[in-house]
Structure 1
Amino acid sequence: MASTTNIETATQAIPRPEHPRPDWQRSGWLNLNGEWAFRFDADDIGLSEQWQTIEQASYDAKITVPFSWVSPLSGIGDNRKGIAWYSRILRFDEIASGEKLFLHFGAVDYTAIVWVNGIQVGTHSGGYGAFSFDVTDAWQAGDVNRIVLRAEDQDHAYQTRGKQGYGETRGIWQTVWLETRASSYIEAVRIVTKLDGTIEISGTAESAGASQATLSFDFDGGRVRNEFKLTLIAGTTSFRTTIQVSEPRHWSPEDPFLYEGTIRLSANGSTDTIGTYFGIREIGSALFDDRNYKWITLNGKPTYLSGTLDQAFYPVGHFTAPSDQELQDEIWRLKRLNLNFVRIHIKPEEPRKLYWADKLGILVMEDMPCFWGEPDETARAAYEAEAKEILDRDYNHPSIISWVVFNETWGLFTKRDEVRSFLPETQEWVRSVYRWAKSEDSTRLIEDNSPCNWDHVESDLNTWHFYKNGYQILRDHVQEVVDKTFPGSDFNYIGGNVQSDAPLMNSECGAVWGIEGSAGDSDLAWQYRYMINELRRHDKMCGFIFTEFHDVVNEYNGYYRIDGSDKDFGYDAFVPGMSVADLHSPDFIVIDAPPCRTLDVGQQAEIALLRSSYSERYHGQTLRLEWELWYDSLGGKAVSSQGTQAIEWNGYGVVPLDNVTATMPSVDSLAVFAVTLRDSQEKTVTRNFITFDVRSGDSNGAYDLEGKWLSVPVSQYARHEWPHAWHALNDHKINGGSEGFVEYEIKLPAEAIAEGIGHIEAVFEAGAKVILVKDRDKSIEKGIDLDFMSGYTPDPELNPSTYYMTDEDRKPSLAKVSIDGQYVESLSLPDDPADSRGALSWHYQQRDNKLEEAGSYGYLHKVSVPSRLIPAIVLAGGFKLRLEVSGEIPALAGGLALYGRNAGRYPIDLLVRYW
């Protein structure tokens, strides 16, 4: 960076100090992020009073650029729309004779007028496109200079807004910088790569006059080079050349190799140098074998897109990441999940994030931002101009494999006579935008409209959205879509248009909207596993996009919390070492069965398995499938049956394997059918599981316990006192909190007393119980009117489906156990969790589209009655068992939940064992 003195912020740290365009970087530049003077113009008097010329001291606030004036990091935090002015005084003298100086704005929402030293240097409209102005003639070298920007954001219906309701991006919201260029310079370059190493480069150069120039390309440490003469004319000169890379190394998520280097234009004794890079890769679709449907291909081979929807929202910076490290970490966290794909939702991403996707290896589907009004002439013109800016800026990123030009028909409806319609003329406009994008960029997959209304027009991808909950509902839905997808089908298309052989994939899925009033903040692990199984069992399917990467303002269905903290899916409790990453393996074992079935003890179950392969890594090898049916014997793992299966792992797609027959345990249990696929080096390829609720039919249950026992339903207590108490899951779970007690009167069988009792033990499942707002006042359980697309944020505790998924935030409690009024011990209840481990709380949900404490579970506890109390108990024929949570330690006054036979993790009620 050239040395300079920033008059106002020389001693202050610059936010987002890195160069904003690693893909297009000149060495002579100055980052202008940091403190700017700021002033709202509520009455729109700034232009008439010429605020671009008044003293900067008259600006009444300071703002931190590059953050939207609405965001906390801006220092303003004001949600108002309208007009605001920015002013910055600085000195920048590192401009060589004959050089040009450009002022760059990464993005300003929505219209901008810019002055330098009182001279208007340019205007721009559009909230997402980058723009720059030549300020050479207005700049005063050797003196201080003043930059003034007037930003106006009125939320007009024609503006491209996307999902800014999560947090507005008003005004400047990406990096501002100065850049020096030679008098003759490279304006733009497009790089197209071929798998054989052919690199096609086209571009334009700008020059003040005619001259001879040399254009050179130097990449990969000098191993990839080309140079040729170029005759420049006054104005714009186009050029085109080809470079041949020997032994090309293909870019992919597994090997994101970049050819880094420079492009130089030398003319009139000066040189313009651009630091950039490219990755050699091809994205497309192709027919394989005898199939009549295409698969998506990367570098000529089938690839399964395991992806997620990324709203790219940050609570403190809104659509501007607080740091470059945050952007890098996001790509790392995607890869940690074993995902290979991300859809950046209804906005072009910051170039720095695309850089990290290029560098670390994530495939990207990038959306064009939508407008929210009707598709009139003004909206169409504004959209088309901005779409071109976005495509031009991001064209060279190897990570981007697809452009989505519209989403869910937003902005495409016209209202006539109170009826909203996607009119035929609008459909033709969508087709024209698709074809424009295809003509501009034939190297990528173009999607006309990512639909939730079955309304494709013309597209390279046949996608659809679904938000369904419930295994059978979801299974039937996916099967229907697959069955109706074939060339010539009019399914999922509108206006007489029909399907081509475009690949079928899902472009949004999940359970957040498949529930009445949304799923609130609840477990997603249970549904996610069986959803992935349903998608992977279809040979025609090429991928999915799960909603979403991390929680956002009013959607709590992310893999991560909004702050990046982890959620616990609980899969490793079923298959050691398993995580959500196993479900994203390109080589996968599908268990073609429900997530849980109820069977009798000793019953046999035939389980269908499929292999799904979209990687050649193991083709030609023999892999080993290990399976076992196991259960928790109330204290340890017991294996009921097990086996192995050698699999010749050849070819792409979905192929049936030999069915497995497993025999259920002889006791009441939650049995787990777990599979692990291993390679010849014993490395785990993927894991999967399903469960069974195994029932004996005995009223007291059959368990791996010595002695005898009786089973007391948890709802059959004698007394309880809580500020808030209720039953759930059809009386198989009782809740109390935040402090209080529940007491049971245990009557021992007369024959047991007669035979003699020397030991008594209580076995039960208990957890803490966080009391939510909806729990304190049941009368508020009602439909919540939510404007989700505008980012309205209700309290998730009001949502009737909310039961917080297990995460890093623990909610502990401490329960004291007493027998006949005498203290016995204290039980640590570490949390009030909900995830896939709460299998019975999922299995016995009454309704698929409304959750009741779904996935919740507790911890297995065994409390021995002290021997000193047993004589009195025998004499009385029973005893009182009390579980109490006190408020003595407020941090541990987290209430109590007790789980019965059809709830939680263990298929038991309150068991009293004696011998």
Structure 2
Amino acid sequence: MKSLSVWVLAIMVLAQMSGYAQWQPAGDKIKTEWGENLDPQNVLQEYPRPIMQREEWKNLNGLWEYAIAPKSFQEPGKFDGQILVPFAIESSLSGVQKPVGDENVLWYKKYFSVPSAWKGKDVLLHFGAVDWRSDIWVNGVKVGSHEGGYTPFSFNITPFLVKGKQEIKVKVWDPTDGGPQPRGKQVNRPEGIWYTPVTGIWQTVWLEPVSTTHIVKVKTTSDIDQSKVTFNACIAGGKYGDVIQVKIKDGNQVIKTVKAEISNKVEVKLDNPKLWSPDSPFLYDVEVALWSEGKLKDKVDSYFAMRKISMGRDENGIMRMQLNNKNIFQFGPLDQGWWPDGLYTAPTDEALVYDIRKTKDMGFNMIRKHVKVEPARWYTHCDRLGVIVWQDMPNGDREPEWQMFKYFNGSELVRTPRSEEIYRKEWKDIMDYLYSYPCIAVWVPFNERWGQFKTEEIVKWTKDYDPSRLVNPSSGGNHYPVGDMLDIHNYPGPAMKMYDGQRATVLGEYGGIGLALTDHLWVQDRNWGYVQFKSSKEVTDEYVKYAKKLAQLAKVGFAGAVYTQTTDVEVEVNGLMTYDRKVIKVDEKRIREINKEVINSIVIP
């Protein structure tokens, strides 16, 4: 039997190698250099969750089988071909590039093996993100379901493993803009500011061995005023008497070691803590270990930053956002996180970090992550590079902006109970997922009235759930006197149409200076920007003109601003870079200089 299993695995490997040889990106749209050089046998091989990292794991990215079938089918009789995971089926890099639609479901199937060294361990099956509703089977047994297109989830699949090869099947249903769920800019008929659907697995799938008693999550909260950091560990299978041990490192030097029984938080006092900021993004490394009856049960590597997000008035009485009790003008691009070849999924980790690096190179200190949530590694890159993040909640509830008004009763959308339930659950899941990343300074529950409802209640809940961050109630939307800021949008140039003396007033979107560059376009026609020019110099001149005006407005009231946008996206050509990231469309040196001038324009206490 053992030799038979070896032969079966050998046949599986040969079949998989043959599939890799046949895989090609689909379609004729533009691609990034990372996508053009993608190795299908080594897709996104980096550890997916660096804020809580274990030594052993196994990546399941690569070629899977797929089938598109009617919702009424229990299971497809046969599969249609191969798909490269974790790229959505509508993307070029999936190798498929087909629509699914809300009347169908997308099926995945893959065979895998569990390393023999994991014998005696529990095995966790992790999904970084699957859009939107997923059901998972392991060896013919349904192990669980998940709703939510933007957050990670996992299952302990140990009881369902068999000898030899293992089979996983995943069924996904995603109604895109035909359902009540958050979906960001995805629509079934892309045009203008609305883009191609993303269905199915779009982040890394992976396995991880753990003890039955193990660390599920570590929630980290820093307090610079008290010079302390608090760790709250969630434990699976723990019992009274088990101990959490936290080692804090400054480089290679252990500076603190603290222990606590698992039902208690671990509080650590630091001497002269080093603070995190865009200019000095210092991170402390952490080792969190779980001990039971004198035996080490689990250990994860993590990190944290000492930083504080708050508000305060400057010497002129203007309400400012503050970092580490100092005024800071937060200025950055609207970053939508779309890719011409991978859609929601960056082709490589190098690509994922590229946009962040270019944002820093251009002198910005912040990114507004627009109606999308990124993989965990993206936030770690922001932590390490020193970029503040405003995190949007992806909008949803059936309709694009221009069709949504019929759903309003007075000034707000009337959601169905199911839609409201989904929104509340997914917003909470997103906040839980991202809580420990120090880069995140602002939560943005609504954008431009898209799905906006019960604003005062949602904002109050958001603020109460995470009082350590600021809440931007609705960026450019219906305004209520709640939260920490008034956010107005104005295109193309900066203008202060409203002002709030009690909260920070920010320019949540402006700019949109367009430049269409041949050979770097998603389509050859229908390209647009809020204003359009014909050369890099013209775009740079216009950008500098706007920035000079913004600097003046910052002195008299604006506390932050967001420029539209980091890259072109589909038919939008108002990016600082082309959609394929092959051309930076502005004079980077001039942009960096004027951006620094804007950031330094406000009074620092």
Is 1:226 aligned with 2:290? Answer: no
**Match 1:150 to one of 149, 168, 171:** 171
**Matched letter for residue 596 of structure 2:** S
Partner residue of 2:426? 386
Pairs aligned (count): 527
**Matched letter for residue 460 of structure 2:** R
Q: Is the 8 A contact 1:304 1:586 kept in 2?
A: no
Matched position secondary structure for 1:562: coil
- TM-superposed CA distance for 1:229, in Å, is 4.3
Of stretches 212-221 and 29-38 in structure 1, the one that deviates more from structure 2 is 212-221
Partner residue of 1:136? 158
Partner residue of 1:288? 314
Q: Is the 8 A contact 2:528 2:572 kept in 1?
A: no
Matched position secondary structure for 2:490: strand
Deviations 1:743-775 (A, max 9, x none): xxxxxxxxxxxxxxxxxxxxxxxxxxxxxxxxx
Distance in 2 separating the partners of 1:249 and 1:587: 26
Distance in 2 separating the partners of 1:224 and 1:570: 44
Q: What does residue range 362-377 of structure 1 map to in structure 2 within 5 Å? A: 362-373=387-398, 375-377=415-417
Is 1:40 aligned with 2:40? Answer: no
Q: Is the 8 A contact 1:66 1:176 kept in 2?
A: yes
**Matched letter for residue 332 of structure 2:** G
Q: 1:586 to 1:181 in 2, by over 3 A?
A: farther
**Match 1:272 to one of 292, 298, 301:** 298
**Match 2:573 to one of 544, 549, 556:** 556
Deviations 1:636-656 (A, max 9, x none): xxxxxxxxxxxxxxx539xxx
Distance in 1 separating the partners of 2:512 and 2:92: 31
Q: Is the 8 A contact 2:328 2:604 kept in 1?
A: no
- TM-superposed CA distance for 1:223, in Å, is 2.6
- TM-superposed CA distance for 1:549, in Å, is 0.6
Distance in 2 separating the partners of 1:18 and 1:468: 39
**Matched letter for residue 331 of structure 1:** I
Q: Is the 8 A contact 1:349 1:366 kept in 2?
A: no
- TM-superposed CA distance for 1:274, in Å, is 1.3
- TM-superposed CA distance for 1:439, in Å, is 1.7
- TM-superposed CA distance for 1:95, in Å, is 5.7
Q: 1:137 to 1:521 in 2, by over 3 A?
A: farther
Q: Is the 8 A contact 1:521 1:556 kept in 2?
A: no
Q: Which has the higher contact order (CA 8 A, sep 6+)?
A: 2
Partner residue of 1:754? none
Partner residue of 1:119? 141
Partner residue of 2:408? none
Deviations 1:755-809 (A, max 9, x none): xxxxxxxxxxxxxxxxxxxxxxxxxxxxxxxxxxxxxxxxxxxxxxxxxxxxxxx
Calculate the TM-score normalised by the size of structure 2.
Answer: 0.82
Distance in 1 separating the partners of 2:592 and 2:420: 41
Distance in 2 separating the partners of 1:587 and 1:148: 52
Q: Is the 8 A contact 2:321 2:327 kept in 1?
A: yes
Q: 1:547 to 1:456 in 2, by over 3 A?
A: farther
Matched position secondary structure for 1:357: helix
Q: Is the 8 A contact 1:214 1:227 kept in 2?
A: no
Distance in 2 separating the partners of 1:401 and 1:566: 30
Matched position secondary structure for 1:534: helix
Matched position secondary structure for 1:346: coil
> What is the alpha-carbon root mean square deviation over aligned residues?
2.4
Distance in 1 separating the partners of 2:123 and 2:486: 46
**Matched letter for residue 652 of structure 1:** I
Distance in 2 separating the partners of 1:586 and 1:225: 40
Q: 1:248 to 1:411 in 2, by over 3 A?
A: same
Matched position secondary structure for 1:309: strand
Matched position secondary structure for 1:467: coil
Q: What does residue range 333-732 of structure 1 map to in structure 2 within 5 Å? A: 333-373=358-398, 375-412=415-452, 426=453, 429-452=454-477, 454-468=478-492, 477-478=495-496, 480-481=497-498, 485-487=499-501, 501-511=502-512, 518-520=530-532, 522=534, 523-538=538-553, 539=555, 540-567=557-584, 569=586, 579-586=590-597, 613-614=601-602, 652=604
Partner residue of 1:620? none
- TM-superposed CA distance for 1:222, in Å, is 4.6
Q: Is the 8 A contact 1:193 1:281 kept in 2?
A: yes
Distance in 1 separating the partners of 2:479 and 2:500: 16
Distance in 2 separating the partners of 1:98 and 1:586: 59
Identify, as 1 or 2, the structure richer in helix. 2
Q: Is the 8 A contact 1:358 1:397 kept in 2?
A: yes
Is 1:62 aligned with 2:63? Answer: no
Distance in 1 separating the partners of 2:210 and 2:480: 45
Q: Is the 8 A contact 1:204 1:239 kept in 2?
A: no
Q: What does residue range 241-256 of structure 1 map to in structure 2 within 5 Å? A: 241-256=266-281
Calculate the TM-score normalised by the size of structure 1.
Answer: 0.55
Q: 1:180 to 1:586 in 2, by over 3 A?
A: farther
Distance in 1 separating the partners of 2:143 and 2:108: 15
Name the larger-Rg structure: 1
Distance in 1 separating the partners of 2:240 and 2:200: 41
Q: Which runs of 5+ in 2 are unaligned?
A: 1-8, 21-40, 187-193, 399-413, 515-526
Deviations 1:108-152 (A, max 9, x none): 111100000011100011111211111110112x41110110011
Distance in 2 separating the partners of 1:95 and 1:404: 44
Identical columns (%) = 28
Q: 1:557 to 1:516 in 2, by over 3 A?
A: closer
Partner residue of 2:46? 18
Partner residue of 2:222? 193
Is 1:31 aligned with 2:59? Answer: yes
Matched position secondary structure for 1:364: strand
- TM-superposed CA distance for 1:294, in Å, is 1.2
Is 1:324 aligned with 2:349? Answer: yes
Distance in 2 separating the partners of 1:435 and 1:558: 34
Partner residue of 1:298? 323
Matched position secondary structure for 2:474: coil
Q: 1:516 to 1:206 in 2, by over 3 A?
A: closer
Distance in 2 separating the partners of 1:323 and 1:568: 23
**Match 1:104 to one of 102, 119, 126:** 126
Distance in 1 separating the partners of 2:131 and 2:174: 6
Matched position secondary structure for 2:70: coil
Matched position secondary structure for 1:347: coil
**Matched letter for residue 153 of structure 1:** D
Distance in 1 separating the partners of 2:530 and 2:601: 34
